[in-house]
């Protein structure tokens, strides 16, 4: 098979760099273009020396001819810039996987309430929310993917099967999520400084994070309008990983852990990247550097409350890995290609 040419627009942020890392090891694609405004003209492996000997390609400035240089494009850009650029790629018949929030919302109103005016509403209509294990059939036929946010991925994968099966009450969902520092991106900030982050654990954007409406829209779409969540993200002093602890009232006090686990096992049957944990608890270390989403469940019998847990690598399953998985599905490839590496046990 001829290799498929891929381009990464905004290659030098953390998600972009992770895309480069993964795609450089993907046997069926070739990276033909990397863009970066800040580093145009500089070899990518000068910016990320880990990539020396792995990739040898200069970053270039995005321009009108960029779209000609590949068949499929990943946009790892800030919100707003994505929706300005994406239509041009689509218009030229290119497939696009957008890692920003611009094409994640079915309802432009919700997007506009939490972000800004939407500039590509027509395209938004056809965009597919790229939560691979849930929307695989739509993804297969999509030409534009809104790649899910990191927190939504960690929250939706455990929640959706359980909520759809009406095992929990949709108005009682609380999501307590914790992310490594890379979630804040590569832009310089006091919060991301080593000395501010080390030995610091804290909540932020309490019940006001923009991933909250993203999660809610999908929950409501899949399980009805009553789904309503409280979402509180926290920052962990580590580079990678999201752990999500979800609380909800069970609909019936006869529901046991095994019902929950069987529900998850059944829903995700045959899906390589979902590991339902029967006798262990999801741990960010066990998924570090991989596309796995580990899911666990416990019941607090006394309070008739379910506790769902998940662990993902925010840069892989929560961003670049899921994006590549989306690409694989769109291209009719085995979804595991390029993503089948083992994690580091330490």
Active site residues: 150
Distance CA 213, CA 101 (A): 11
CB of 122 vs a copy of itself, minimal distance in Å? 31
Contact between 291 and 273 (Cβ < 8 Å): yes
Distance CA 334, CA 118 (A): 34
For 86, phi then psi, to 5°, come to -50, -45
Taking residues 200 to 229 in sequence order and writing x for each that binds a copy of itself by CB under 8 A, - otherwise, the string is xxxxx-xx--------------------xx
Residue indicated by tokens 């899910």: 148
Is residue 310 at the binding interface for a copy of itself, with CB under 8 A as the rule? no
Question: Which residue, 13 or 146, is less far from a copy of itself as judged by CB?
Answer: 13
* Residue from the set 94, 209, 211, 240 that interacts with a copy of itself by CB under 8 A: 240
* Residue from the set 4, 40, 55, 337 that interacts with a copy of itself by CB under 8 A: 55
SS3 state at 316 = helix
Beta strands 72-75; 95-98: pairing state: parallel
Distance CA 324, CA 337 (A): 9
Stretch that binds a copy of itself, among 81-89, 94-102, 110-118, 296-304 (CB under 8 A): 296-304
For 105, phi then psi, to 5°, come to -100, 130
Q: Which of residues 56-85 bind a copy of itself (CB under 8 A)?
A: none
Q: Give the tokens for residue 176.
A: 């307590």
Is residue 108 at the binding interface for a copy of itself, with CB under 8 A as the rule? no
DSSP state of 43: B
Is residue 319 at the binding interface for a copy of itself, with CB under 8 A as the rule? no
* Residue from the set 284, 322, 326, 328 that interacts with a copy of itself by CB under 8 A: 284
Distance CA 155, CA 151 (A): 6
Is residue 94 at the binding interface for a copy of itself, with CB under 8 A as the rule? no
Is residue 255 at the binding interface for a copy of itself, with CB under 8 A as the rule? no
SS3 state at 245 = strand
Is residue 299 at the binding interface for a copy of itself, with CB under 8 A as the rule? yes
* Residue from the set 92, 198, 224, 225 that interacts with a copy of itself by CB under 8 A: 198
Taking residues 165 to 184 in sequence order and writing x for each that binds a copy of itself by CB under 8 A, - otherwise, the string is ------x--x-x-x-xxx--
Is residue 53 at the binding interface for a copy of itself, with CB under 8 A as the rule? yes
Distance CA 198, CA 213 (A): 30
Size of the site for a copy of itself (CB under 8 A): 90
Is residue 272 at the binding interface for a copy of itself, with CB under 8 A as the rule? yes
Is residue 41 at the binding interface for a copy of itself, with CB under 8 A as the rule? no
Distance CA 100, CA 89 (A): 15
Is residue 106 at the binding interface for a copy of itself, with CB under 8 A as the rule? no
Is residue 14 at the binding interface for a copy of itself, with CB under 8 A as the rule? yes
* Residue from the set 29, 51, 134, 163 that interacts with a copy of itself by CB under 8 A: 51
From the CB of residue 267, how many other CB atoms can be counted at a distance below 10 Å?
18
What 3 state SS string does 47-85 have? HCHHHCCCCCCEEECCCCCHHHHCCEEEECCCCCHHHHH
Stretch that binds a copy of itself, among 109-117, 126-134, 140-148, 191-199 (CB under 8 A): 191-199
């Amino acid at each position: 098979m001829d290799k498929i040419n891929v381009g990464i627009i905004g290659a030098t942020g953390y998600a972009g760099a992770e895309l480069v890392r993964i795609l450089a090891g993907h046997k069926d694609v070739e990276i033909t273009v990397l863009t970066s405004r800040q580093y145009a003209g500089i070899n990518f492996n000068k910016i990320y020396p880990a990539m020396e000997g792995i990739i040898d390609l200069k970053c270039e400035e995005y321009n009108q001819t960029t779209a000609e240089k590949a068949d499929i494009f990943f946009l790892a850009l800030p919100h707003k810039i994505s929706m300005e650029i994406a239509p041009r790629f689509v218009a030229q018949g290119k497939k696009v996987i957008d890692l920003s929030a611009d094409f994640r919302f079915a309802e432009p109103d919700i997007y506009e309430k939490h972000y800004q005016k939407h500039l590509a509403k027509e395209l938004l209509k056809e965009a597919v929310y790229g939560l691979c294990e849930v929307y695989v059939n739509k993804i297969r036929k999509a030409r534009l993917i809104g790649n899910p946010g990191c927190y939504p991925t960690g929250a939706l994968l455990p929640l959706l099967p359980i909520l759809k099966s009406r095992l929990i009450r949709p108005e009682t969902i609380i999501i307590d999520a914790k992310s490594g520092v890379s979630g804040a991106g590569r832009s310089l900030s006091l919060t991301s400084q080593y000395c501010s982050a080390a030995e610091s654990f804290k909540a932020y954007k309490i019940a006001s994070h923009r991933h909250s409406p993203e999660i809610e829209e999908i929950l409501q779409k899949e399980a009805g309008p009553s789904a309503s969540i409280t979402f509180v993200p926290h920052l962990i002093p580590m580079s990678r990983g999201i752990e999500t602890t979800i609380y909800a009232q069970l609909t019936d006090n006869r529901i046991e852990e095994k019902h929950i686990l069987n529900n998850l096992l059944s829903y995700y049957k045959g899906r390589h990247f979902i590991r339902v944990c029967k006798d262990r608890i999801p741990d960010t270390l066990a998924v570090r550097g991989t596309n796995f989403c580990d899911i666990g469940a416990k019941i607090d019998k006394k309070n008739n409350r379910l506790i769902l847990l998940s662990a993902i690598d925010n840069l892989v399953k929560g961003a670049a890995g899921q994006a590549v998985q989306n690409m694989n599905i769109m291209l009719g490839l085995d979804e595991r290609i390029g993503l089948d590496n083992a994690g580091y046990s330490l």
